[in-house]
Structure 1
Amino acid sequence: MTQSVLEAVKVRRTYYGLSKETVTSNERIQEIVRDAVKYTPSAFNSQSARAVVLFGAQSDKLWDITTEELRKIVPADSFGPTADRMKGFSAGSGTILFFEDQKVVETLQEQFPAYAANFPIWSNQSSGMLQLVIWTALEQEGLGASLQHYNPLIDDEVKKTWNLPSEWKLIAQMPFGKPTFQPNPKEFQMHEQDVRVFS
C-alpha cells in the first residue's frame, strides 16, 4: 500500500548530510519538479512559479557563487563554518532553485487593483506549497534535501550565470542528494491553542 500524503509529510525531514551517489535518475527528478510546478495551486490560477534544476557541476557552481558572495560580508576570521556549510550543500547531487515570475504578479495587480497588495503575498504562499510538494516527493524517492535562503545576496549572479529572465524573483534554494546520516529526532512545541475547533 502506498504511503498517504499526510504520512509522507510527517516523515519529511531536513537533511544536511548529502552525497552525490545516485538514488534515482535525473529524469525522474525533472519529472517531479515539472509535475509539481504544473499541479501546485496558485492564487487566481496565476501559475507564477518557475524552477531551475541544477545537477552535478552546475549545482556545485551555485554553491561556489554563494560562497564567494558570503565571503564579501562574513569576517574572514569566522568564515570557516560558513565555508563548511557551503561544502555540505555542494556535496549533494543537485539543487533546485525556486522563483516567482514578477511579471505575472504585476499583471494581476494591474488587472485586479483591489487585491494588488495581496498578490505578492499569495505568490509567496504558492511558492511555499511548491517547495513542500517537491521536498516531500524527493524524500519519497530516497533523497534528502534542505531549504536554503541566500537570496537576494546571490540573485544577480544566479540570473547572469544561467541567463535567467530579470523578472524571475529567487525565493529559495533546495540542495538534495543521497542522505549520509539521519537527522536527530524532531521536536514539537504543540500548544493547546495552536488549533482551535468550533462545532
Structure 2
Amino acid sequence: MSNNFMEAIKNRRSYYGISKEQVISDERIQEIVNEAVKHTPSAFNSQSARLVVLLGEQHDKFWNLTEDVLREVVPAEHFAPTAEKMESFRSGYGTVLFFEDAAVIEGLQAQFPIYKDNFPGFSAHSSGMHQLVVWTALELEGFGASLQHYNPIIDQRVASEWNLPESWSLVAQMPFGKPTFEPGEKEFQPLEDRVKVFK
C-alpha cells in the first residue's frame, strides 16, 4: 500500500474556516469529481451515485437557499448560530452535492429480489465512499472541506432550483475552499477497542 494514500487519509480533516480564494482551476475540480464518480466502487457495479458541483454564484445560491429553508424551521431567537454556519459555508469556493439515484436502486431491487432489502444500504455505502474519495482528493489539491447534512428539508428546493431528476435523492453536501485556519487536535479512541485481529 502506498504511504501517500495513507498520508492523504490522515490529512483529510473537517475544515470550517474556508475562503473563496482559488486554489486550482475549475476544470481540475471537475476532473477530480469525474474521476471519483468513474472509479469509486458500488455494489453490483450499480453506479448509482450522482454528484452536482456548484461554483461561484451557484455555490452562494445553494447556501442562501439552505439558510432560507432553515429560517422557516429554526426559531428566530435561536437562529444566530445557524446563520453563522451558513456564512462559514458560503465563504467557501464551492460545494459538491452527493445524490443517489433511486431509479437505479429500484431497478436492482426488481432484478435481484432476494437482495431487495439490502440495496438501500449498499447505496449508502457507495455514497460514503464517493464522499471520502472527493473529500480526500480536494484535500490533496490544497482545499479544506467538511460534510454537511441539511437534507431532507432542502431536497425539494434543491431539485427545483437546479432542475434535477425526481429520482435523485440528496445524501450530503460538501462545502470546500482554501483553509483559513487549521482544525483542532483530533482525539482517537483506543484501537484495541475498535480492531480485532485473529490468526
TM-score of the superposed pair, with normalisation by structure 1: 0.98
Distance 1:79 1:102 in 2: 33
For residues 94 and 73 of structure 1, what CA distance do their matches in structure 2 show?
A: 25
Q: Percent identity?
A: 63
- SS for the counterpart of 2:150 is coil
CA distance in 2, matches of 1:3, 1:91: 33
Q: Shift in Å at residue 3 of structure 1?
A: 5.7
Which residue in the other structure is 1:29 paired with?
29
Give structure 2 stretches of 5+ with no counterpart: none
Q: Are 2:170 and 1:170 equivalent residues in the alignment?
A: yes
Q: Deviations over 1:19-49 (max 9, x none)?
A: 0001111110100000000000000000000
2-side partners of 1:137 and 1:106: how far apart?
30
Q: In 1, Cα distance between the equivalents of 2:31 and 2:3? A: 20
> Match of 2:150?
150
Partner of 1:163, secondary structure, is coil
**Is 2:73 the counterpart of 1:73?**
yes
Q: Which amino acid aligns with 1:94?
A: G
Output the CA distance in 1 between the equivalents of 2:11 and 2:191.
21
CA distance in 2, matches of 1:3, 1:159: 40
Distance (whole Å) between structure 2 residues aligned to residue 163 and residue 59 of structure 1: 15
Shift of 1:7: 1.3
Question: What's the CA shift string for 1:81-102, capped at 9, x where partnerless?
Answer: 1001000000001000000000
1:114-193 to 2 correspondences below 5 Å: 114-193=114-193
Q: Give the paired residue count.
A: 198
Q: RMSD of the TM alignment (CA)?
A: 1.0
CA distance in 2, matches of 1:167, 1:159: 10
Q: Shift in Å at residue 192 of structure 1?
A: 2.2
Hey, what's the Cα distance between the residues in 1 that align with 2:191 and 2:34? Answer: 37
Report the TM-score, using the length of structure 2 for normalisation. Answer: 0.98
Deviation per residue, 1:56-96 (Å, 9 max, x gap): 11011110111011111111011011001000000001000
The one-letter code of the counterpart of 1:4 is N
Unaligned runs of 5+ in 1: none
CA distance in 1, matches of 2:190, 2:137: 26
| SS of equivalent residue, structure 1 residue 51 | strand
SS of the residue 1:192 aligns to: helix
Runs (4+) of structure 1 exceeding 4 A deviation are none
Shift of 1:4: 1.5
Distance in 2 between the 1:195 and 1:180 partners? 35
CA shift for structure 1 position 186: 0.9
